[in-house]
Structure 1
Amino acid sequence: MGTRIGADVGGTFTDVVVELAPGDYASTKALTTHDAPERGIIEGVVELLERCGIDPADVAQFIHGTTLATNALIERSGAVTALVTTDGFRDVIEMRTESRFEQYDLDIVLPRPLIERADRYTVAERRNARGEVLVEFDEAGARSLVRHLVDAGYESVAVGFIHSYVDPTNERRFRDLLHEVAPNLSVSISSDVSPQMREYERFNTVCANAYVRPQMSSYLIGLRDQLAARGIVAPLYLVHSGGGLMSVESAAAFPVRLIESGPAGGAIFAADLAARFRCDRVVSYDMGGTTAKISLIENARPDTATTFEVDRTARFKKGSGMPISIPVIDMIEIGAGGGSIASVDSLGRIRVGPNSVGSEPGPACYDLGGEHPTVTDANLELGRLHPDTFGATDIDLAPALASAAIDRVVGEPLEVDTLAAAVGIVEVVDENMANAARAHAVEHGKDLSQYTMVAFGGGAPLHAGRLIDKLGVSEMIVPSGAGVGSAIGFLVAPFSYEAVRSFYTSTVDFDVAGATELLGALTEEALCFVREGTDAEVVIERQVSMRYSGQGWEIPVSLAPDLDDLAAEVLATEFAKAYEGFFGRAIDDLDIESVSWSVRVSSVVPARQTIELDRTGSRRRVAGATRRVYDSAVLGVVEAALFDRVDLAAGDRVDGPAVISEAQTTTIVGSRQCCVVQADGSLLIHRYRGAT
């Protein structure tokens, strides 16, 4: 295929990976350039290609993931956007669902709507849930509104009419009227972006798409042109939130699909590793400079969802964020990274995150002007990091600056020494991440003690040893290339697309013909997106979301390739099994409704050669040097053996306490833990079993 490149732009670091051969990668990590993210990418790519001696013309694919869309939503830095909706529904995105995520909190703070009321407009038109016309589309009123929107100078327009997922005619007509007057105006319609029932979620999703579309389109097209100017004319693909690849043109049209772009690459990376080691249950733990992401993977497939929330006002509280209705890898994300800021609140408690120093100015120890103490500063103070082995390009750690910042902000207010303050910072961030993992597992009815952890990202190997103790997880894997895991995940992701649409029918009077027609249309839509990137063999998966009559939410049920006259009975049986799996028992004598249908088309990824995990090791390695490191397992400072990861070979066993350093991250092996190097270079760390 030629050379392939993956580039992941995070809040602190930009990771660039080149695939030299299947499973063999070269990489670089540099501080993210927030004012122009493409600049950091280009610099990293040029440096890496020169180092590897690769001609830019030999690059066959460039795969990119970015947090730019997410940042625009959280920072409210998107386009000047208007919402046009059905007369009478102007305030849906502000009224939300009228539910409260904290029922008895009198000071509850709900997310501010993405589009203010002054920028929301209505058109006289109305259809019911069956698509029947209740109010005819007001053509004259629509034309008058179009002229006002253009004269007002809006950069983007979101259009969401009631029940347009059943019949999108009026939304499409309003878009056509806009383009007649302003052909270059960015217009997003909900029947294209998220053709699903529940108007609040659908309207919010189309607003988000319209809000970030001009910025993302300009960025993506600009990045493609800059790559071409440097001789890289390969197709540019984006990783979408569902964990697959899509073309740059599709991404520019539907940037809301990119909101969980980078984290999705990490989950794909962990799933690939799970398949390689034949681990049935894996908890993916990705900690970078700004956030930590945790997801559950079973049978080498990440859990997925059709809705997720952005910019929650309350940590771990469902309903406190902006809902986005798109297919997404299900994960929990918190503000816990190497750059997360530590402070002391009014009650004398140490707080860590969610705010981060990012790459500008970075942690105090980076000596780039940062004054806030961070998790990275605490790890340096505790001996887990060291200036001699910190592998980030052009960064020389300054321990004295880290100590001074920790003392000033945490140590002095609490009247404790620097070491104790640093221990407090690390323990707080570790407990925050452990709580997030517990909450995510409980919401899905899972027991984490039955899982293997996969730790990657620049910060995860530093903290994962402590996390498995807190969570009762017996073992964890730190893969090769862990520091740039998400970018490697981009290179193993399939081309895929999931098309979703609401269509109501009941098992009492099941509409076989309507469901078959819908599935055919969804399959064609998904195939069209996938064929933009590849003509490889594909796998087609179908699902329907079902519920008992009277319930408000659904659970997914897999569909057979074809529906027949017995489809209602088969689906009822499969739904009862799925319901029992979720809730312990099914309910008899209730009608079952099918609400939302989806088709996922994915290119076939070549099977990886599997590896049997070696849990004992054949050779015990003894280090020639040690360093004093704080070990949370024994609540004290210990002499930890020092190893360079490149010097370790398959079968080597390292007994803790130990520090294993590499170019882009550092792995901590606790006093009661043992590390065994696997055949592919991965590190398997488990609780010490008395090996000698």
Structure 2
Amino acid sequence: MLRVGVDVGGTFTDIVLERTDSSGQQVVVHKVPSTPADQSEGVVRGIVEICGLAGVAPSQVDAVFHGTTVATNMVIERNGAEVGMLTTRGFRDILHMARHKRPHNFSLQFDVPWQSKPLVKRRNRLPITERLMPPTGAIEVPLALDEVKAAAELLAKRKLDAVIVAFLFSFLNDEHEQTAREILAAAMPDAYICTSSEVVNVMREYERFSTCAMNAYIGPKTALYLNRLEARLRQSGISADVRIMQSNGGISTVEKSSKLPVGLLLSGPAGGVIGGRWTGQASDTGNVITIDIGGTSADISVIQGGELRIKNPRDTEVAHLPVLVPMIDIDAIGAGGGSIAYLDPGGAFRVGPRSAGAVPGPACYGNGGTEPTVTDAQVVLGRLDPEQFLGGDLKLDRALAERAIKTHIADKLGLPVVEAALGILKIINNNMALAINANSVAKGIDPRNFTLMGFGGAGPLHANALADLISAKDVVAPLHPGITAAMGLLVTELKYEYTRSVLLALDKLGEAEFAAVNAQLEALMAEAAAQFDRDGIVADKRHFARIAECRYVGQGFELRAAMPDEPLTAANWRAVAKSFFAVHKQVYGHAFEDQSIEVVTLRVVATATVETLKLPDLPRGGRTNPDAALMYERETIFDDGHAVDTPRYQRAKLLADDVIVGPALIAQHNSTVLVPPGRKAVVLGHGDIRITRAPASPGAL
């Protein structure tokens, strides 16, 4: 079996190859520059190159697992499709009004994105006479077919890329939406068409309409990208199955991802969190705060007890637009190796969120960049050796880094270049620490009981400083920090989620209501089973989790509660209530166990077990500062501003239980691990590194 994981970042594309056969196992990692104009170019080039490094032909690849930022970038850059919309008459402006709430109530300057940059322009939102009525979805006013046909002809004349159909209460009855879809498809055969009941079949018309609009906005280009990727792979002799990482931490097919690209909006960061959980399991660490620091952004998540956190539906948004799809709880900020340091118009010293990206990149890359970045600061301080970056594949120019910091920061503030470089790192580290606390402390997580796992190319350079700022108990640097997100792609599961809206008081269910709920769950599981049939997943590899999304009667938003595997009955419904109370207490700090609970949505999460990446155990070393791994010593400046002669160790030559006492740098192709003075690094069984405070020497004050 030969599998490849590919994760596309803003600066680099990371690739991992695993080959398992009768002769044993081989794991190879690689990095290539990203190609923002067309990510598929960098993806395919990276796969072909890593096959060469592994000594295999591209045609031998059996599966490609891919994490992509194509969908997310479209939303951020607002360069998606021109979308049309058919909606219930009287509700044309739902997408404009939203919830009548401003993200910042007292800011007169804040831009309201759903009004200033709408996913569907008002002139393309066409009202249609029809009306369904709750609670059954009964047809009150029949669909005006002549209006649908006229609207379809008008949208076709405008040559729109995509059209959505979003009618009121279609989550109860999708008959009108499906009829309108058929008429649109006949008039606009080349358009990307989707209905709200297909994309997100749940209540709340604004969020449902917005999610459907988002799906259509990113749909045409995402489908084009995925099809182009498959075509490039075929042209390169790679006929492997392609699987795409989703926002919920599962993988999906190209066909499913093209139809529902809204599920890919956190595709890139999700792989890193999955890889972080897998590394935590390998290092016997269940409580982990992950921070994936690449060239452009830092992605933060919390893994508690080995479990991923899924965002509450009220928080699932992208670029301030609600997206009602399950997402791993990840916060992203503009902080990475390429983050640019500058003085704002008021003279304040700032770093990020603007990034030098892959092109031109930091000044030290020598590709024309002149503004100072975090990477330039690391070079000036001696924490990145110019000849060791990417294993020597990319030579850095320290003089260019010093010139950029001196010109743009040091001279303007009257500081030495070294102090300016330290200032860049101090600012970016504090920005990241505030974001980590917002994702942990603000949500009831005490970082003192958690390991901070820093990965991405820049993660292990910042991890110790961040651990000090948030008071984490220790630090773990994965075996291949710069490739962790790509490795996460090889340890995730095939995953689909299916929903049905219901509005039922849990403690007032009778036999008829129990029968209706169980029938809905069976229908959802049948949908999942049909998808697995299309994917060729055998029965014993399939797993189904049943979830009731509940709230107190009158509460605004719901939380996920686990349901029994067997049918819901009067004898076991209290297990659902107990699960809801526990989740509510964890999220809000309290639970009212005497109050009535309402089930809002039934959800089935269908997963399929796939082959998972396995790393071999390292031979045991047990050495301290082993000479066999030592490369050389070089002056390095740490946070106290003092220059120290610091040894460099080659990570590939470290063995299990080896100990490196700081100060030290541990170099490898895809990252550099910084071990500051007063710390010690211990190599774990698979090659991950745990960094803790070194015990004080006897007699030390």
TM-score range, shorter chain: over 0.9
Superposed displacement of residue 393, structure 1: 7.3
Q: Judging changes above 3 Å, is the alpha-carbon distance between structure 1 residues 344 and 299 closer, same or farther for their aligned structure 2 residues?
A: same
Q: Using the alignment, how far apart are the partners of 2:588 and 2:141 within structure 1?
A: 42
Equivalent position of 1:551 in the other structure: 555
Superposed displacement of residue 570, structure 1: 3.5
Unaligned runs of 5+ in 1: 313-320
Superposed displacement of residue 184, structure 1: 2.6
Q: Does 1:348 align with 2:371?
A: no
Superposed displacement of residue 339, structure 1: 1.1
Q: Using the alignment, how far apart are the partners of 1:611 and 1:689 within structure 2?
A: 31
The 5-angstrom pairing of residues 631-670 of structure 1 reads 631-632=638-639, 634-670=640-676
Q: Report which stretch shifted further, 574-583 or 250-259.
A: 574-583
TM-score w.r.t. structure 2 length? 0.93
> 2:664 is aligned with what amino acid?
A
Q: Judging changes above 3 Å, is the alpha-carbon distance between structure 1 residues 58 and 413 closer, same or farther for their aligned structure 2 residues?
A: same
Corresponding residue to 2:244 among 233, 238, 241:
238
SS at match of 2:238: coil
Q: Using the alignment, how far apart are the partners of 1:613 and 1:473 within structure 2?
A: 27
Equivalent position of 2:584 in the other structure: 579
Corresponding residue to 2:632 among 601, 625, 639:
625
Structure 1, residues 41-73: CA drift from partner, whole Å, max 9, x if none?
A: 121111111221112221110111110100011
The 5-angstrom pairing of residues 336-485 of structure 1 reads 336-391=335-390, 394-485=393-484
Superposed displacement of residue 254, structure 1: 0.9
Equivalent position of 2:49 in the other structure: 47
Q: Report which stretch shifted further, 341-350 or 656-665.
A: 341-350
Equivalent position of 1:593 in the other structure: 598
Q: Using the alignment, how far apart are the partners of 1:476 and 1:498 within structure 2?
A: 34
Q: Using the alignment, how far apart are the partners of 1:23 and 1:499 within structure 2?
A: 37
The 5-angstrom pairing of residues 50-199 of structure 1 reads 50-111=52-113, 112-130=117-135, 131-199=137-205
> 2:576 is aligned with what amino acid?
L
Superposed displacement of residue 676, structure 1: 0.5
SS at match of 2:390: coil
Q: Using the alignment, how far apart are the partners of 1:614 and 1:572 within structure 2?
A: 50
Q: Using the alignment, how far apart are the partners of 2:688 and 2:579 within structure 1?
A: 39
Superposed displacement of residue 522, structure 1: 1.8
Superposed displacement of residue 639, structure 1: 2.4
Q: Judging changes above 3 Å, is the alpha-carbon distance between structure 1 residues 387 and 393 closer, same or farther for their aligned structure 2 residues?
A: closer
> 1:373 is aligned with what amino acid?
P
Equivalent position of 1:507 in the other structure: 506
Equivalent position of 1:273 in the other structure: 279
Corresponding residue to 1:304 among 294, 302, 310:
310
Q: Judging changes above 3 Å, is the alpha-carbon distance between structure 1 residues 278 and 608 closer, same or farther for their aligned structure 2 residues?
A: farther
SS at match of 2:482: helix
Q: Using the alignment, how far apart are the partners of 2:37 and 2:332 within structure 1?
A: 24
Alignment coverage as a number of residue pairs: 682
Q: Judging changes above 3 Å, is the alpha-carbon distance between structure 1 residues 624 and 240 closer, same or farther for their aligned structure 2 residues?
A: closer
> 1:303 is aligned with what amino acid?
R
Question: Is 1:30–1:393's contact at 8 Å kept on the other side of the alignment?
Answer: no
Equivalent position of 1:14 in the other structure: 13
Structure 1, residues 595-626: CA drift from partner, whole Å, max 9, x if none?
A: 12211111235788899999995534365632
Structure 1, residues 373-418: CA drift from partner, whole Å, max 9, x if none?
A: 1111111111111111101675221111111111222222222121
Superposed displacement of residue 549, structure 1: 1.1
Q: Using the alignment, how far apart are the partners of 2:25 and 2:514 within structure 1?
A: 45
Equivalent position of 2:211 in the other structure: 205
Q: Does 1:290 align with 2:289?
A: no
> 2:531 is aligned with what amino acid?
F
> 2:548 is aligned with what amino acid?
V
Percent of pairs identical after alignment? 34
Question: Is 1:67–1:259's contact at 8 Å kept on the other side of the alignment?
Answer: yes
SS at match of 1:14: strand
Equivalent position of 1:316 in the other structure: none
Equivalent position of 1:38 in the other structure: 40
Q: Judging changes above 3 Å, is the alpha-carbon distance between structure 1 residues 534 and 243 closer, same or farther for their aligned structure 2 residues?
A: farther
Q: Report which stretch shifted further, 148-157 or 348-357.
A: 348-357
Q: Report which stretch shifted further, 130-139 or 666-675.
A: 130-139
Equivalent position of 1:682 in the other structure: 688
Superposed displacement of residue 241, structure 1: 0.9
Equivalent position of 1:26 in the other structure: 28
Q: Using the alignment, how far apart are the partners of 1:7 and 1:580 within structure 2?
A: 39
Structure 1, residues 560-594: CA drift from partner, whole Å, max 9, x if none?
A: 01211234433333323333333343225432101
Q: Judging changes above 3 Å, is the alpha-carbon distance between structure 1 residues 99 and 294 closer, same or farther for their aligned structure 2 residues?
A: same
TM-score w.r.t. structure 1 length? 0.94
Q: Judging changes above 3 Å, is the alpha-carbon distance between structure 1 residues 15 and 173 closer, same or farther for their aligned structure 2 residues?
A: same
Q: Judging changes above 3 Å, is the alpha-carbon distance between structure 1 residues 309 and 423 closer, same or farther for their aligned structure 2 residues?
A: farther
Superposed displacement of residue 306, structure 1: 5.4
SS at match of 1:411: helix
SS at match of 1:600: strand
Superposed displacement of residue 505, structure 1: 0.8
